[in-house]
Every structure is written in C-alpha cells, then in structure tokens.
Structure 1
Amino acid sequence: MKQLTLDIRPDAPPTLDNFVAGTNAELVATLALLADPTGKDALPSPHLYLWGASGSGRSHLLRATAALATGQQRPMHLIAAAEIGDSLPETPAALLAIDDIDQLRADAQIALFNAFNRSRGNGQSLLLAGPCAPLELMLREDLRTRIGQGLIYEVQPLDDDSRAAILVALAERRGLRLADEVVDFLLRHGRRDLPSLLAVLDALDAASLERKRPVTLPLLREMMQQGLAI
C-alpha cells in the first residue's frame, strides 16, 4: 500500500497523497483529474458529489482537491455551505468546492442551483460533499436532481486490516513495535476513525519514550486509567 509510506499525521496539511485510499482509489484519481485545468475534460461530468459518514475523510478530500487545484493554477473557491448566501462566485473555469451541503439555507440552495445552470457557460466544476446519498438530502428537489446528474461517490471506510496495517507501519517508522494485542484492543474498543487512532499512537509513542517501556497492553491500560481516551 503506497499510502502507508506517506505523511498522514493528524496535523499534516490534507493532500490526495496522504489520504489513505483503501478501496477509494478510483475516487482519489477522479478528484486529481477534477483539480487539473485540462484533466477535468476527460471526465464524463465536470461535477462531483462525494458523501460519507462523519470521520470518513470527505472534508479532507475536498480540502486536498482544492489545494491541488490551486497548485495547478486552476481558479478555486472552497466554501462551507453554512457561509453561503444568495450568490456564489462566478469565476470562469473555477473549481467551486462546497462542504456539508446538507446545511445549505433556502437562498443558498437557489444559489447552488444557479451555479449548476451557469457552469456550462463559465466552465466551472462543482465539487460537493455531504453526509448521505443525494436522494436522502433535505434539499430542493430540482437541486437534488442536478446533484444526482453528476459523478457520485461514497467514501468507503477503511476495513480493520487496513487500519491495523497503517498503525503498525506508522509505529515502525517511529521505531516502535506495537504488540498485536494493542492493535486488536484499539480496534475492538476504541474509536475507529483514523485521526483518533493516530492520536492514540502519538500518546503511546510519548509514554513509551518517557517511561522507557515498550508499547504493550498493560501500558495502554495504565494510560487509560490516567485519562487517555481511545
């Protein structure tokens, strides 16, 4: 897995390279094309909607694609849905990325619908993200229809084998050896999203150095008794 060798610290700037793709490789490749001023023309639609549960990485993917577009000289606007009023930028050929579209107010929904209508003429691409499939969004019917006519991807969660492999690989990169029982315990009893798992790994790393002890289940249990949330 190429992604395991890359910098995926919780505080690392989001990029498509440091998103652990798992079964989302096609989505990541499509987003890279969407960010490219010319690559977008190879896609069947200039618009894409991605959805997934909280912690799935959809906001990471929006920010990463926006950053890639900027680096490739494509005009870009990254906007939170709650901040949109009755209009959206009309910058020609821009990538317009909007997160949490389930939070669009009535006037913002009209603004997004109008942006879809203008896109053929001004060359914009719309990259949208939300928590559920288009049909489940509590939005205007005409807007849901427009969203559903573009590319649609569900961000697939990592499976436990991938989570375990990531933890072990990152620990080894730090010179740590994670006992199998530690990994199993975290995946059975802890929060399973990657940022939470990496935060626990950071805490284990610091405790191991401070106490000059290997990372074992007894050490993890001691830290939990002292307030570590997993």
Structure 2
Amino acid sequence: MRVRNSPASDLERTWDRVLERVAERVSMEDLHQLIRPLRPTAVTPAQFQLEAPNRLVLHCINDRYLPAIHASVAAVLGPRQVVIQLPLRSQGELFPDTGRRRAERRARPLHGTLNPKYTFANFVVGASNQFAHAASKAVASQPGGHYNPLFIYGGVGLGKTHLVSAIGHQILERNELARVAYLSTEVFMNDLISSLRRDRMGEFKERFRRVDVLILDDVQFLAGRERTQEEFFHTFNALYDQRRLIVLTSDKVPKDIHGLEERLRNRFEWGLIADIQPPDVETRVAIIEKKAEMEGIPLPNEVALFLGSELASNVRELEGSLTRLGAHASLARRPITVEFAREVLQTVLKPRVPSVSFDAIVDAVCTHFSLRPIDLRSKRRSRNVVVPRQLAMYLCRRLMSASFPHIGELFGRDHSTVIHATAVTERRIKEDAAFQATLERLERSLREH
C-alpha cells in the first residue's frame, strides 16, 4: 500500500531545498546558527511563511538575511512574499512590547510610519551629536517657530532618521491631532509620479500642503529630478509661509548637493543646519549598552567596552552587530563574553594590526616630549604630562589592540580614564593639525621598528 506524504513533510522538504539555495549566499555558521532554526509553517501561491524562535532572531533575520531567503524561495517556488513571524505564545519574549503598543495607540502620522523605538528617550547623546539633538528638541517643542527649516546632515547610519522621527513623536505626544507627514524623498517622488500619471495633482498638492509638520528624509535624492524639485519648491513655500515645521535630512550640506536648484539650496539654508559626526568610543559604548537594555540582552560591561572599541563608528552597524550577537547567544544558550563576541563577529571586527610593545610606545612618546617613563605613570596633571599620557594611551589602543582595563593597569589608572583619554585624543586629532602630524610621525616610527 502506498503511503502519501503528509503536508508537513512536503513543507519540510521544500524548506530544505530553500536552505540549499541560502547556503550559496551566506556563511555556513550563519546558516546553521540563525537561519536553520526558522520553522516553515505554510506555503501559499503568494507567501512562504516562517516562524522564528524568538524576537532577537526575528530582528536579526529581517535586518541581514531576508533578501537571501527571499531570493532562495523565489528560486525554488517562484516569486513569493516571505513572512517571518513569532509563535503566538512568544510574543513577549526577549523584547518587551508594551512600549510599542502604547506608541501604536498614539495618533499616527498622515504619511509614512514613525518607528516607535526612535524617540528622544532612546537617543544616546554624545559630543558627536549633541548639537543636532538640542536643535531637534527645540523645534519639537515649538514647531514652526525658530530654526525652520531644520536641516540635519551626516553619514549613513549615524542617527539622522532617529532624531527626525523623535521630533514627530514628541509633537504627536503634545498634540494628537497634529498632522505630521514623515516620508523619504523616494516616496515623495514616487507619489508625485503616480499623481501625474493619474491626473490627480490637485490631491497631491492638498495632501502635502495642509500638514503641520513635513519630515523629508534623504533630500540629496532630489538632485537632478527637475519636476520633483519644482513641486517640492512650491510645497516648501506653502508650508513655510504658514509657519509649518519643515525637517530635512541629507548625507551632505545643501551647498554640496550637486544637481540641486539654487532656489531650493537657498531655502534649505534659511533655518538651522546641524551635523551628526561618527560617535566617539564613549558614545559607542553608551549606545551599545542602551540598545542591550532595550532589547533585554544580558551584556557584561567588558563586552560593551570591547564592542565599542572594536566595531565601526556607524551606529546602525553597532546595533546590528549587537542584535546578531544576542541572537547567536540565545540560540546557542551561551553567556555573552568577549571571546564569544570575537567568535561571532569576526567578519565585522576591525582587522588586527601588528602588535607594538607597551615599552616601545612609552619610549617613543617620552623621547618626543622630553619626559621620563615614570612621568607617564605618575599622578602629575600638568598639561605637559597629561597630553603625552593621553596620546600614549591612544597609541596603546591603536597599535596594541589592548583592552581599556589592561591599558589602565599599565598606566595605573582605571578603564574610564583610558576611555576619556582616547576620546580626547580623537577630538584633538581632528582639531589640531600639528598634533595630528605628531601622532602620524610617532605611529609611523613605531610600525617601522
């Protein structure tokens, strides 16, 4: 008698075929540790449905691996939407969602969606972003008053979207009836094209010119789009004349956006321009600890210090790496240690440089500044000793790949002093060309010997 295959076994075999395709696009470690634990639950003509074991894994998959899974499903089954969900009983696991439910009950923006996690309360303020943060708080407290428009610029993943979303949240908290439009320049442009095609430009103009707040992300993509610039120019004027708040973000200042009409460039400069720089070590550590607290990841302080010093300055990459680390730890049921972090994140950690000895660094710094090694380890706080000491600590971090606590032991200080010294030296390098030249000479001589 022939036994027919059950739907469940057919689904598992389909998932195995998808995994074979996924294996061509991701590392074997990520395949087995993060993707294989997903469980297929259903397949329809439109969807391929999967279940993630917990929220950390769900967030990590959506952030890094969804395109690979989507392409693999398409190769096996044809085009389908990939939907990944949590088991119903696990909705509260690892990521408390009471804050999200409260945020969803608030008034929603007219256009687009404000990320419920992107609030001022969740934004970590440091030297690299404190001016942009203060400006955002100011415009949120008095929309359309001072600093209109607010133009925030900075590199990818540094927190621009977080800040402008926080502005929208705070305005809606104070006035649930406020008409807030939040969208990317691409969405604005596509909406314009659709309205032109359907001969509904009247509706388009009415929709955007009656808002109380317009938040437009990535305005550098207006460059070269003459029709879109024309329409946005009139939208800007209408809102500005009504004292409605306009908030813009870009990866560069208005004058550096090539292909942007002069009349728009001038208007972008009417209000306040604030920049966001890559965060220093102290801010990176604070961001990692805040993210771990929000997502319920048990992260020891020494691991936060390690991640803050070894990972890139891009905030989005910092948070993504932490989520990946937490997902691996939850699936492997292992505590998060420095060695475990090094193992999981080896592909994104800074490459190790040839080690230079502590004594060689101290000798080079002392020779240059006419000091004795004992001076750097002393308690003296005069500037002629403090600056060389901070520089030596910075070089130990850069050339020895030593941890903050270990450097602190070598100099007879605690790790917080070393973090401060590193941050101060990084700022001094940016502000003082002569100091930067001194550092480069010292580093070059140490690497050559």
TM-score by length of 2: 0.42
Q: 2:138 aligns with which of 22, 29, 33?
A: 33
Post-superposition Cα deviations, 1:54-83, rounded to whole Å, max 9, x if no partner, equal 011111222221222222223211121112
Map 1:66-145 → 2, pairs under 5 A: 66-73=168-175, 74-84=178-188, 85=192, 88=205, 89-91=208-210, 94-104=212-222, 105-138=225-258, 139-145=260-266
2:151 counterpart SS class: strand
Higher gyration radius (CA)? 2
Say if 1:27 and 1:170 are closer, same or farther in 2 by CA, change over 3 A.
closer
Deviates more, 1:123-132 or 1:107-116: 107-116
1:14 counterpart SS class: coil
State the 1:169 CA deviation.
Answer: 6.6
Alpha-carbon distance between aligned partners in 2 of 1:136 and 1:64, rounded to the nearest angstrom: 26
Residue identity opposite 1:179 in structure 2: E
Alpha-carbon distance between aligned partners in 2 of 1:30 and 1:42, rounded to the nearest angstrom: 12
For the 8 Å contact 2:145–2:243, the answer to whether it is kept is no
For the 8 Å contact 1:97–1:126, the answer to whether it is kept is yes
Residue identity opposite 1:25 in structure 2: Q
Alpha-carbon distance between aligned partners in 2 of 1:153 and 1:68, rounded to the nearest angstrom: 19
Specify every segment of 5 or more residues in structure 2 that has no aligned partner in the other structure, as ranges.
Answer: 1-114, 193-200, 350-449
State the 1:211 CA deviation.
Answer: 4.6
Alpha-carbon distance between aligned partners in 1 of 2:232 and 2:302, rounded to the nearest angstrom: 50
> What is the aligned-residue identity percentage?
24
Alpha-carbon distance between aligned partners in 2 of 1:222 and 1:125, rounded to the nearest angstrom: 47
Look up the match of 1:187.
Answer: 309
Alpha-carbon distance between aligned partners in 2 of 1:200 and 1:69, rounded to the nearest angstrom: 32
2:299 counterpart of 1:197: no
Alpha-carbon distance between aligned partners in 2 of 1:199 and 1:176, rounded to the nearest angstrom: 15
State the 1:118 CA deviation.
Answer: 2.1
1:40 counterpart SS class: coil
Alpha-carbon distance between aligned partners in 2 of 1:123 and 1:169, rounded to the nearest angstrom: 36
Look up the match of 2:150.
Answer: 48
State the 1:52 CA deviation.
Answer: 0.5
Residue identity opposite 1:194 in structure 2: V
1:98 counterpart SS class: strand
For the 8 Å contact 1:35–1:72, the answer to whether it is kept is no
Look up the match of 1:150.
Answer: 271
1:17 counterpart SS class: helix
State the 1:159 CA deviation.
Answer: 0.5
TM-score by length of 1: 0.76
Alpha-carbon distance between aligned partners in 1 of 2:238 and 2:163, rounded to the nearest angstrom: 25
For the 8 Å contact 1:109–1:140, the answer to whether it is kept is yes
Alpha-carbon distance between aligned partners in 2 of 1:15 and 1:169, rounded to the nearest angstrom: 13
For the 8 Å contact 2:214–2:245, the answer to whether it is kept is yes
Alpha-carbon distance between aligned partners in 1 of 2:169 and 2:286, rounded to the nearest angstrom: 28
2:280 counterpart of 1:159: yes
Deviates more, 1:27-36 or 1:200-209: 200-209
Look up the match of 2:338.
Answer: 216
Alpha-carbon distance between aligned partners in 1 of 2:243 and 2:215, rounded to the nearest angstrom: 14
Aligned length: 212
For the 8 Å contact 1:82–1:103, the answer to whether it is kept is yes
Look up the match of 2:163.
Answer: 61
Residue identity opposite 1:40 in structure 2: P
